[in-house]
Amino acid sequence: MTLEQEIWGMALWVEKHHETDGHGFIADRIASLEADGEHGGANLWRGVEKRYSQLRIGLIPIHGQPETQPN
């Protein structure tokens, strides 16, 4: 499994377990990790935040399709 797949898996886990409160959960994780000096972990969760946001608004790149919605 690649790191990218793991990050997407984390985003999906947040979606499943926290639904609309996922942004708050992720923000708490980032703040806690930063406070503990775990900058690498905080950066990982920033990646999760990005993908979670894509899940919530429906902009998920699928192989063979453009990453942005056409106007």
Q: Where are the domains of the chain?
A: 3-57
Tens of pLDDT, residue by residue over 28-69, are 999 999 999 999 999 999 999 999 998 888 766 555 555 555
DSSP string, 21-71: GHHHHHHHHHHHHHHTT-HHHHHHHHHHHHHHHHHHHT----TTS-SS---
> How much is the pTM?
0.79
Tokens 């947040």 found at: 14
The pLDDT assigned to 57 comes to 83
